[in-house]
Structure 1
Amino acid sequence: MAKHQTPLLDQLESGPWPSFVSDIKRESDARHTNEKGVEYQIPEDVCDDLLGVLELSFKDGTTHWKHGGIVGVFGYGGGVIGRYCDQPEMFPGVAHFHTMRVNQPAGKYYTSEYLRQLCDLWDFRGSGLTNMHGSTGDIVFLGTRTEQLEEIFYELTHNLDQDLGGSGSNLRTPACCLGESRCEWSCYNTQELSYHLTQEYQDELHRPAFPYKFKFKFDGCPNGCVASIARADMSFIGTWADDIKIDQEAVQAYIGGEIAPNGGAHADRDWGKFDIQKEVIDLCPTECMWMEDGKLKINDRECTRCMHCINVMPRALRIGDDRGLSILVGAKAPILDGAQLSSMLVPFIKAEEPYDEIKEVIENIWDWWMEEGKNRERLGELIKRQGFQKLLQSTGIKALAQHVQEPRHNPYIYWHEEEVPGGWDRDINEFRKHHQR
């Protein structure tokens, strides 16, 4: 029997898609029947009261969660998101409802035994509700009380060999795609780089010292399965420096209908005969492809590695052999200044241990951002405020054509004095002599 009437939430179960409301109700029933015989360390009506406070929020048109204040585990400034209900008398089960972020394994690989251990821990000391995974990438434990935080942390670190993730103004938990473990297009080992930087920057993960949050995300190829270009302050996107490999026989097999395009993903739909001109060549963003004497040609110097042609004809086109990654910076969701996509910083760099070149770029950026960034200002907002040229100066990276987002509006070139041989005086004198002649 439900503790609270929730007619508004019940509507969310009426559509064709699975509903989180159904999940919470199912967990509520499990806690009340308690077939496992668990001695719960927080109130068993936590899920009922969670539904009740959400229903009240829908009715009132405002949240009934208040700021969690300073709550966490000893020695860590991140990993725990404090949450208290502002109606504790009405909903005692969620008077405390703290969320814990747990650092997910690279590529999100688990054993079933490990998942059971996580769930058993959270059934015992939390609400039993999890989010696998949050948009940050973490395992998310939803809802526990303050007195349980240290107990959960001890169990995670001592018995499950697992650490908390990032929260607050720090390095957030790095996230990566499956990379070379599963994907034929991966241009570098995303899992290894993600794990390496997670270990390298533990202080930045757990002890907030940044102006605001900072995210690493690792895409093995330009298909971008973790959407790093839209969500990460620093995106590591796999790419290659040589030419796309072409199997001309396979190209003809696609044209002749012997091989289904798109890996056969739409084989159940009759879209007619495959047209390489319309479906591949005309859709190339840089128009670098054409057919000549029955063969597919690519001007690789103009190719931007968008992967469209490779995705459509994977048997005919393959990524190159000189592989590495591009580093892009500045993506974010709308916080202060609207959504932004990443901007290219390093067009190509090898991803090889110990990754010293990559770490040098990271730390130069952090030095500049921590010195110049305002409170709650993401890296992309600082770049927009001070200009990309400032970023290049702070990282020591020379300007390249790939750094130009659009032609400049002001046609005059500004030179720093140290960039003019002999200084400004010599340059002005030369100008005067030329003008007098």
Structure 2
Amino acid sequence: MAKHETPLLDELEKGPWPSFVTDLKQQAATKPECWDILGQLELSYKDRITHWKHGGIVGVFGYGGGIVGRYSDVPTQFPGVEHFHTVRIAQPSGLYYTTENLRALMDLWEKYGSGVTNLHGSTGDMIFLGTRTENLEPLFWDLTHDLNQDLGGSGSNLRTPSCCLGDSRCEWACYDAQEMCNSLTQRYQDEIHRPAFPYKFKFKFSACPNDCVAAIARSDFAVIGTWKDNIRIDQAAVQKYIAGDAAYPSNGGAHKGRDWGKFDIQKEVIDLCPTQCMWMEGNELKIDDAECTRCMHCINVMPRALRPGVEKGATICIGAKAPILDGAQFATMVIPFIECNAENDFEEIVDMIEKVWDWWMEVGKNRERVGETMQRIGLPTFLSVMEVEPMPQHVKEPRSNPYVFWKEEEVPGGWERDVVEFRKRHAA
């Protein structure tokens, strides 16, 4: 395939940062279709429109997801990308690969595709970028039979669940995010591979409130680790931080190499608490835990002095998404605390998930994420369906509707009697 002139793309190779343009030019030495990738993208830059057609229906037998169809709308000009389908490979929990597994995956992609990969983007899966339709079935056969791996999710289905490193590497983990991620991935294979939802649905599991997988912003169902009791305080360690002990660097020594001056607990911790629930009494740090929102700032700054409580579990947040129909939105906190019990296969979490699905599949519109359905129909209705009692934390803003509505069972004696009494009193 001919090399294309790419003056616009060449600009992206200038400057201090690595460039995908350079990578694709190197890849083109063994995979000539990469020149056509660059040529088509250069044309898109000139025309200011994409030259990928809608993917249509393409995939492997028995699966409705896992393959994202890509066809060029200028195939005679760029025959190397006439077909350029994306294959999603389900990732292991916490993205723990062996070098043997990675080499096998790369060999597979050299054999059947362009050799271009994306790992790991916001979708969670490992992405194989660019293959022809006739290569999909043999690629799938080798992937599942030789590597014992599966395709990830795409389309209006459950997307491949993803999680943080959890207990395996993180001392702040409040539940086993990898175990939950693996358990629910195994449980919901059918929902991953056979689209049946109004639109996509994502689980993400963060084992602590630092939320290292950004579940609260990117998933329809976020399970974020938390604790119910008080933050544990080592007062002696607090004094070590205040004294500037070299063995107790703030932020765990993350800012080594730059002199930030003497640690100031008032300025760097207490004044930055979002609810102002911390203060010093003499030499002791005090925390009003009832006001703590688990932002993790104080724990991150003084990790040897402060730790999460011992009564651990998770917060469930529902409804985050990127801007598709109605703008980006964060998830809504629905359950402030739930225990995450692996011994019963996380049945409490499973019950919540399936309540959400049952309601959303009944009332959701086509291509409407669950957060948009909640927004359209209203949080009070959603909470009622989920059998969750409303609480102040569910209030987004003061209401502007002057009307008040009650259900009949909420009014002692029935609303009809109250209306009659009201009319009698005001008849004059």
Aligning the two structures, in what range does the TM-score lie when normalised by the shorter sequence?
over 0.9
Q: Does 1:166 align with 2:157?
A: no
Match for 1:238 among 218, 222, 225?
225
Per-residue deviation, residues 244-303 of structure 1 (Å, max 9, x unmatched): 000001101111101211111113222221111111001111110000122100000110
User: Which residue matches 1:416?
Assistant: 407
1:361 corresponding residue in structure 2: 352
Amino acid at match of 1:24: L
Equivalent in the alignment of 1:204: 191
Distance 2:198 2:223 in 1: 22
- Secondary structure at the aligned position of 1:217 is classed as strand
Shift of 1:209: 1.0
> What one-letter code is carried by the residue in structure 1 that aligns with 2:164?
C
The residue number in structure 1 matching 2:313 is 324
Shift of the alpha carbon at 1:86?
1.1
Question: What is the DSSP-based 3-state SS (H/G/I as helix, E as strand, rest coil) of the residue aligned with 1:301?
Answer: helix
Kindly indicate whether residue 274 of structure 2 is the aligned counterpart of residue 268 of structure 1: no
Distance of 1:70 and 1:280 partners within structure 2: 54
Which residue of the other structure, out of 386, 392, 403, is the alignment partner of 2:377? 386
What is the DSSP-based 3-state SS (H/G/I as helix, E as strand, rest coil) of the residue aligned with 2:291? coil
Q: Structure 1 residue 71 and structure 2 residue 58: aligned?
A: yes
Give the SS at the match of 1:49.
Answer: helix
The equivalent of 1:97 in structure 2 is 84
What letter corresponds to residue 269 of structure 1 in structure 2? R
Give, as a single letter, the amino acid of the residue that structure 1 aligns with 2:3.
K
Aligned-partner residue type, residue 370 of structure 2: L
Find the aligned partners of 1:155 and 1:75 in 2 and give their Cα distance: 16
Alignment of 1:166-205 (within 5 A): 166-205=153-192
Q: Which moved more, 1:61-70 or 1:314-323?
A: 61-70
- The Cα offsets for residues 212-254 of structure 1, whole Å up to 9 and x where unpaired, read as 1111111111111110111111111000001000000110111
Instruction: Tell me: CA distance 1:2–1:249, structure 2 relative to 1, closer, same or farther (3 Å).
Output: farther
Distance 1:59 1:114 in 2: 40
- Whether 2:393 is the aligned partner of 1:402: answer yes
- Residue 291 of structure 2 corresponds to 302
1:3 is matched with which residue? 3
For residue 344 of structure 1, report the CA deviation from its aligned partner.
0.4
Farther-moved stretch of structure 1 (47-56 vs 310-319): 47-56
> Among 324, 345, 350, which residue is 1:335 paired with?
324
TM-score scaled by length of structure 2: 0.96
Q: Percent identity?
A: 67
Distance 1:53 1:135 in 2: 24
- The answer to whether structure 1 residue 50 and structure 2 residue 68 are counterparts is no
1:120 aligns with 2:111: no
Residues in 2 aligned to 1:246 and 1:409: alpha-carbon distance in whole angstroms? 43
Q: 1:216 aligns with which of 200, 203, 206?
A: 203
Corresponding residue for residue 24 of structure 2 = 24
State the AA in 2 paired with 1:281. I
Would the alpha carbon gap of residues 274 and 92 (structure 1) be closer, same or farther in structure 2, given more than 3 Å must change? same
Q: CA deviation at 1:2?
A: 6.6
Residue type of the partner of 2:37?
A: L
Q: Tell me which residue corresponds to 1:248.
A: 235
Alpha-carbon separation, structure 2, partners of 1:27 and 1:143: 13
Q: Which residue of 2 aligns with 1:39?
A: none
Q: In the alignment, which of 61, 75, 83 is matched to residue 48 of structure 2?
A: 61
Structure 1 residue runs of 5 or longer lacking an equivalent are 32-43
- Match of 1:35? none
After superposition, the C-alpha distances for 1:15-57 in whole angstroms (9 at most, x for unaligned) are: 211111111111112x1xxxxxxxxxxxx42111111111111
- Distance in 2 between residues matched to 1:206 and 1:77, nearest whole Å: 6
Q: Deviations over 1:194-221 (max 9, x none)?
A: 1111111111111111111111111111
In structure 2, how many angstroms separate the alpha carbons of the residues matched to 1:422 and 1:104? 58
| Among candidates 363, 366, 369, match of residue 372 of structure 1 | 363
* 3-state SS, counterpart of residue 110 of structure 1: coil
Alpha-carbon distance, 1:429 to partner: 4.2
* Residue 344, structure 1, aligned to residue 352, structure 2: no
Q: CA deviation at 1:412?
A: 5.4
Do structure 1's residue 145 and structure 2's residue 136 form an aligned pair? no
Q: Secondary structure at the match of 2:368?
A: coil
Alignment gaps of 5+ in structure 2:
none
**Aligned CA-pair RMSD:** 1.6
Deviation per CA, 1:286-332, whole angstroms, max 9, x where unpaired?
Answer: 11000012210000011000000000000100011110000001111
Q: Secondary structure at the match of 2:257?
A: coil
* Deviant stretches of 4+, over 4 Å: 429-437
Cα distance in 2 for residues equivalent to 1:304 and 1:432: 47
Q: Secondary structure at the match of 1:345?
A: strand
SS in 2 for 1:12: helix
The alignment's TM-score, normalised by the length of structure 1, stands at: 0.94
The one-letter code matched in structure 1 to 2:112 is R
What residue is the counterpart of 1:34 in the other structure?
Answer: none
Query: 1:279: which partner in 2?
Result: 268
